[in-house]
Amino acid sequence: MSDYDRIASAMTYLVNRASDQPNLEEIAAHVHLSPYHFQRLFCRWAGTTPKRFLQVLTLERGKGLLDKSCSLLDVSHELGLSGSSRLHDHFVQLEAVTPGEYKNRGKQLKIEYGVHSTPLGALFVAVTPRGVCRAGFMDFNSKDELLDDLRIAWPFSSITESTSSTRHVIDAIFSGNAGSKEGPLSLHVAGTNFQIAVWRALLKIPPGTVASYGQIAESLGASNAARAVGNAIGSNPVALLIPCHRVIQKSGALGGYRWGPTKKLMVQTWERMQDAPPNNSFEPPPRPDGP
């Protein structure tokens, strides 16, 4: 098991067992590490301690978060795309496929893909020369299944594996390296006009906050279209970069997520931790064999 896999497993364990408030020894045992080494590994990859992650995970959510986010879709486009988070340091730009490109179904289009380990689990990423066209967690689908979906969407394209060509996407999301030589991240996606409008609205939700399906619909001038908004969000082809994980039900419930509610809560908590101030009160325990 890789370090990434251990942290992803630990985060899943914390989400599933949050109500039990597991201690450091229990979490470390789940990934077969000593408490000391697990704490150091978790801090390195997650950017915080397991205890702090659990604290943020168990904070009261739901309507309280929605109340704080009631005006988030009224902010300017610039504010929505250039916050202090790691994703927004890179400016995520969404570019829709043109009608001509859609008609050609990928003719003469080169697509490169790769599977990468991340603290949130294995992530499948595919890119065209114009941007990211796919990103999805591999919790429920194999690489072959995801490739089949890509070929169905772009049957005449040339699809090759190249993790070196997709690595910059992972670096942008997880390293916070705003000086990437690749420049701003662009998305190259296909969808109906309504789907594109919904996905653009999602990009305006600041990191660490949430919106309801109804709020998204209202921002589009279609207050009675919450169900249609939900369908468009469910069709999101680019996980994390198009932040469908930031949308919850009006009641405060998590709502649906293509990769399951556990993953959705994990992503939300991880994202909130990226901009949280450091908490120095939680230090790794001393080594069993002394300092």
For the annotated catalytic residues, the residue numbers are: 244
Q: Are strands 123-128 and 131-137 parallel, antiparallel or unpaired?
A: antiparallel
Distance in angstroms (rounded) separating the CA atoms of residues 79 and 147 = 35
Distance in angstroms (rounded) separating the CA atoms of residues 289 and 195 = 57
Q: Residue 28 is which amino acid?
A: A
Helix 193-202 crosses helix 226-234 at what angle (to 10 degrees)? 80
Angle at 238 between CA 96 and CA 6, to 5 degrees: 165
Hey, what are 264's tokens?
């959705």
Q: Strand pairing partners for 124?
A: 115, 136
Cite the beta strand spans of the chain per DSSP E. 92-96, 110-116, 123-128, 131-137, 158-161, 185-189, 211-212, 247-248
> DSSP of 123-170, one letter per residue?
EEEEEETTEEEEEEE-SS--HHHHHHHHHHHSTTSEEEE-HHHHHHHH
